[in-house]
Structure 1
Amino acid sequence: MVVEFLPSQIGTEDGVPLPYTGSPLLLLLSDVLLFFRSLWCFPGIIFPLEPWGSGELDELYPSRENLTALAIHGFLCMYQIAFLVSLPFCYMVPLVWMVLYVVVVLVVNHAICRKLNGNRRFLQSRVPVVSRPEHESEHWIFVNGVAVGEHWLQSNIDRLSYTFGRRITGVHNPTAGIIFDTIQCLIERNFCYATDDVRDAYELIKGALANPKNKKVVLILHSQGGIQGGLVIDWLLAEIPQDLLQKLEVYTFGNAANHFNNPHRYVEGLQNAKATRGATHSDGKSIRYIEHYANSYDFVSVWGVLNFIRISNRYMGRVFVRPGWGHQLNQHYLDTMFPLGPDRKVLEKNEFMEMEVELPKSGMTGDEGEGLVSSIDDDTSDEEEATVFDANTPVDVTAPVRKRLNGSLPRTLKVKHFSRLWLYRNGRSPATSGQT
C-alpha cells in the first residue's frame, strides 16, 4: 500500500469569490448534499473497533468511562433523531406549546451532556514528561472534535503528550451529542460562526503567540477542531503581526473544515511560487508549517479535507492520505501513525511512516498545487528522516544527489521523509531552518 501525498495549494492573487466566502445558504445546501454523498463511508467514524494500541486511552477501549460515554451518546442519538423527526408535526400545536417543547428538549439534552462535559474550559495533560531546554520556549495546544467529553479530551491530550514528549493544553469543544454536534459543524463552517470554545481557543493561541517567551506555538486539531482552528487562523491573520504568526505550526487529523487559509506574506513570494510551483524557500507564507493527516475512508475526512483540497478553494497545507478506516484520534490516527511501544514511547518504525508516498501525477484541480522538490540532506541514509525546512513546500532532494542520479529521485520516498510532525516524536525537535 502507498500513502497519497497532496502538496499544498499555492493560492491566487484574485481568487474571489472563493467557495467558502460564497452565499452561506448555498454553502449549507452544498454541504448537506455532500453529507449524503459521503454516507458510504459513515461506518469509518467508529470502525475498526479494535485493536486498542493505547489501551485505556483509546476511545473504544471497554473501560467503564468509555462504555458510559458510548451509552450516553447512543441514547442522545436516538433522542435527537426523534426530536428532529417530530419537528414537522409541531405545526399542529399552538406556537407557545411548540416553543416550550423545543426548550424542554434542549434543556434535557444539555443536562445529559453535562455528565460528559464537566465544567472545565481548559485541560492539561497528566503525563510526566522529560523536559528539554528547547521545550521551555514551546506551547502545544489541542482542540478536539465531535462527541468529545471531558474524559475523552483528557485521553487525547495524554496520548499526544506520550507521543511528542510535551505538556499539552486542551481547549474543550464540549459535545452536545453527535447529531447536534454535526449541525453545529454545518453552522460553523458555512456561516463562520464562532462558538464560545472558538473564542477560548483564539484567546489562548493569541496570548501564546504574543508571549515573548514562546518561540514556537504548535496547534493540533482533530475533526470539528479543524473547523474551529480554521476560524481562529482567520482571526489571527487579521490581527497578529506576521513575525508572530511565523511562530505557529498547525497539524490536523480528520479535518472537517471547508477552508484553511495561509496567504503569502509578500506578492513577490506568491509570484515566485506560481512560477516555480513552490520550489524556492523564499516564498514564505504567513504560517510556515501546516500538515493534514487523513484516513481515506474516514467519513469526516471525506466530507472535509479530502473534498475541499481537490477543488478550487483556499485549503493550504500538505495532505497525507492513509489508506484505511477510522476517525477517532487516539485509536484510528495516533495508534496507526504514531504507535507506542510497551514503554509508551513512539516506535521508531511503523507501517504508516514506512509507506511509500504516491506523488500526484498533475497539479491540483482548480488551484494548482506545489510541485515536488526536495530538502533531504546529501548524506541522509534510507533509515533516516529528511530535514524538512518548510512543510508548506514539498521536500526536496539536494542538487548533488540529483546530479549524481541524473535528476531522478535517489530512493523510494516514504512518509517519514515528508512529515515534519514525525520529527517531534518522543520529545525530539526538527532541525532549525534558519528562516525568520
Structure 2
Amino acid sequence: MPFITVPTTRRTRDASQSPTVSWLSRSSSSDSSFSSPRVASPRVPSSTTPVTYIPSLIDGACGTLPAEQRPALSLLSEDLKEIWAIIPQITTGLRRNWRSNYDLVIRLRDFVLQFWLSVVEVAILALVVPLWMMLPGVVFLVWFCFSISFVLAVSSFLNGTEVVVNCDGSGSRTMEPDIEEQRWVFVGGITTSIDRLSRESLPLLSKLFMHPITGVHTPTFGLPFDLLLLAFRRSFPSFPSESKRALYSELRGSLLDSSISRVVVLAQGTGAVLVASTLSRLSADIQAEKLTKLEIYTFGAASREFVVPLGKTKKRRASTGASRHDGAVAEDRCGPRIEHFAFVSDPFAQMGILRAVYRDFDVRFCGDIFVMRNHPHPSSQGHLDRPTGQLSDYLCALFPTSLLGCCDPGRPSLLDYVMGVDRDTAEKRELAAIESYAEIKRSSRKNRRSWTGLGATVGSSKNGVMDGLVGLQMARKSCRNCEGHRGRDVSWLADHVRGGDMIRESEGRPEDAPS
C-alpha cells in the first residue's frame, strides 16, 4: 500500500498567508492566500449575511497542540502587544456600558472605583522602573507596598467576600441553588463587580432562561491590572486561582451527580478563559460519557484555546421541537456541546476566538462558532450601534423579543437570519491540523535509525493522515447540512429560551427569515 505524503508550507504566527494543502483543497478558493494583519484585530472575511457559521474543529489527525506546549514567554509577549492595541476599543465599550440606566447606583459606584484604580495602576506601571532605579531599596519597597495595598483595599469594595453567588430568578441572592435536574452556571467578564454580577447579570440570565443560576465571580482589580492578569492567564492556563477552583468544584460535582441531567455554562468575554482552563482539567479527570451532559456557550470568548478530547461521542439533541429542521447538523459530537458567539467588533473576541479561527490555525479551538455582524433594524433608521462585546449586546442581538425592557423594539434576532457558512475557513483549519501532524511525524522520524522503526512510523503517519481526511470530510458535511438554515436551526442555545423568540410551526422554514 503506497505511503501518502502531505505537501506542506512553512508556517509562522505572523505570516501573511495560511497553510494550505493544495491537493486536498476542493477549489481554487481554498488555495488563495489568507492574509492576517500584524495588529491585534484579525481580518475577518467579508460577508453579506449578519451571521456566519463555522463548524467545530474535528482534527481527526490530532495535529493541534495545547497552549502549554508552546513557549509561555513568547505567548505573553504577543498578548501584551495585542492588549495594548485594543485598549481604545475596550475603554470605549466599558464607558458606553457604564452609561446605562439599569441599576444606575451600582454602575456609578463601580465607575468611580474603577476610575481611581486605573489612575493609580497606570501611575504604578509608569513609575515602578524609574523609582526602582532612583530610590533607596527601603523607600521603594515602602512606596510599592503602599500602592498595592491601596489597590487591594479599593478593589475589596468591588469584589466583596463571595466567589460563588446563586440567584433564584427573583433578583435575590441565595446561599444554595434550588434542587432541579439542570444546573446553570455563569462566569462574568472583566471589571465586573460582585454586586453587578448578583443584581444585574444573574437575574437577567435567570429570567431569560427560566432557571436558577449560579454565578462564579472573577475578582477585578482595576482595568490595567485586569488586562495584565488576562494576558498572564492566557499564557499560563494551568495557573491556579480561587475562581477556577470554585468553578471546577461546581462543574465536577454537577457532572458526577446522577440526578442532574444537564449542566449549562455561560461565559462572557474574559470569563471564557477560566471556563476553557477548567474544561481542560475536567476532560482529564472525568469519564467522557459524563461530559456529554455538559453544554458551554460563550459570548465574545477571549480564550486562546478551547480544548476537548477528540473523537466521536453519540449525543442527543437539546430538544425536538416542531420548528427544528431534522438533520440540520450532524448528531455525532465530541464530548460536551460547545457554541461560541462573537461580534467582529468585540475587542476581546478579536484577541481570542477570532484570532484562533482566522489566524492561529495550529491551536485547538473546539466548538461551533457563530460570527456576528451589525445589522439594520427599523428602530434605528437602518443603523445599529457598533456592539462593544458587553453581555447585553449579545443577549439583545440573539433574543431581542425576550428582553423588551433592554432592547430596541422591532429589532429582529440574529438567529432569525439565514446563516452564511464559511466552508473555506473550516477546511483550512482541518488542513492545518493534518499538516501539523505530518510535521510532528517527520520530526519524530529523524530520531529513528532502524528500518523497523522507520516502517512503523510510516504506517502510523499514513493512518494519521487518513484520520485527518475523515475529519475534513466531516467538516465539509457539516457545512453542507447547515447551508440555507437559520441560526436557531443549528444553535442549541435557542432551545433554552421560551416566549417571544420561539418560532411557531408555521414559521419554521429557513426562507421565512429576514434577509
**Could you state the TM-score of these two structures normalised by the residue count of structure 1?**
0.77
Aligned residue in 1 for 2:128: 87
Contact 2:168 2:211 in 1 (8 A): no
Contact 1:294 1:320 in 2 (8 A): yes
Please give the alpha-carbon distance, in whole angstroms, between the structure 2 residues aligned to 1:222 and 1:13.
Answer: 31
Candidates 348, 367, 374, aligned match of 2:430? 367
Which whole-Å CA distance do the structure 1 matches of 2:408 and 2:310 have between them? 34
Residue 337 of structure 1 pairs with residue 375 of structure 2: no
Pairwise mapping of residues 8-157 of structure 1 onto structure 2 (< 5 A)?
8-15=56-63, 17-19=65-67, 21-38=69-86, 41-42=89-90, 45-46=93-94, 49=97, 56=102, 63-89=104-130, 90-128=132-170, 136-154=180-198, 155-157=200-202
Q: Offset of 1:39 from its aligned partner? A: 5.1
Does the C-alpha gap of structure 1 residues 189 and 342 become closer, same or farther in structure 2, counting only changes over 3 Å?
closer
Matches within 5 A, 1:348-363: 350-363=412-425
Does structure 2 retain, via aligned residues, the 8 Å contact 1:163–1:345? no
Aligned positions, number? 376
Counterpart residue type for residue 242 of structure 2:
D
For residues 194 and 395 of structure 1, the distance between their equivalents in structure 2, rounded to whole angstroms, comes to 42
SS at match of 2:497: helix
Deviation at 1:342, TM superposition (A): 4.9
* d(CA) in 1 for partners of 2:429, 2:262: 33
Secondary structure in 2 matching 1:56: coil
Quick check: which has more Rg, 1 or 2?
A: 2
Report the counterpart of residue 5 of structure 1 in structure 2.
53
Cα distance in structure 2, aligned partners of 1:117 and 1:189: 22
Contact 2:167 2:202 in 1 (8 A): yes
| AA at the equivalent of 1:322 | M
- TM alignment of 1:9-408, pairs within 5 A: 9-15=57-63, 17-19=65-67, 21-38=69-86, 41-42=89-90, 45-46=93-94, 49=97, 56=102, 63-89=104-130, 90-128=132-170, 136-154=180-198, 155-192=200-237, 193-265=239-311, 281-282=331-332, 284-287=333-336, 289-310=337-358, 311-312=360-361, 313-324=363-374, 325-327=386-388, 329-339=390-400, 340-342=402-404, 350-364=412-426, 365-368=428-431, 371=475, 373=477, 396=481
Judge conservation of contact 1:144–1:223 (CA < 8 Å) in 2.
yes
Cα distance in 1 for partners of 2:121, 2:407 equals: 41
Q: 1:217 to 1:245 in 2, by over 3 A?
A: same
Q: Which moved more, 1:413-422 or 1:177-186?
A: 413-422
- Quick one: structure 1 residues 23 and 343, their matched pair in 2 at CA, closer, same or farther if it must change by over 3 Å? closer
- 2:436 corresponds to: none
| Displacement of 1:298 | 0.9
- CA RMSD, aligned part only? 3.3
Distance 1:337 1:159 in 2: 14
Post-superposition shift, 1:360?
0.9
Q: 1:161 to 1:317 in 2, by over 3 A?
A: same
| Cα distance in 2 for residues equivalent to 1:345 and 1:112 | 33
User: In structure 2, the residue corresponding to 1:371 is in which secondary structure?
Assistant: helix
Q: Which residue number in structure 2 is paired with residue 413 of structure 1? A: 485
CA separation of 1:65 and 1:37: change in aligned 2, threshold 3 A: closer
Would you say the 8 A contact 1:143–1:221 is kept in 2? Answer: yes
For residues 34 and 292 of structure 1, the distance between their equivalents in structure 2, rounded to whole angstroms, comes to 21
Identity of aligned residues (%): 21
Aligned-partner residue type, residue 266 of structure 2: I
Q: Which one-letter code corresponds to 1:118 in the other structure?
A: G
Aligned partners of 1:137, 1:8: CA distance in 2, in Å? Answer: 27
CA change 1:251–1:44 in 2 (3 A) is farther
Could you tell me how far apart the structure 2 residues matched to 1:359 and 1:320 are?
A: 9
The runs of at least 4 consecutive aligned structure 1 residues that moved more than 6 Å come to: 343-349, 427-430
Q: Which amino acid in structure 1 is aligned with residue 129 of structure 2?
A: P
Residues in 2 aligned to 1:41 and 1:342: alpha-carbon distance in whole angstroms: 27
Q: What SS is found at the alignment partner of 2:102? A: helix
Aligned to 2:9: none
Counterpart in 1 of 2:494?
422
- How far the C-alpha of 1:96 sits from its partner, in A, is 2.8
* Separation in structure 1 between the aligned mates of residue 68 and residue 245 of structure 2, nearest angstrom: 20
Aligned mates of 1:351, 1:326 — CA distance in 2: 14
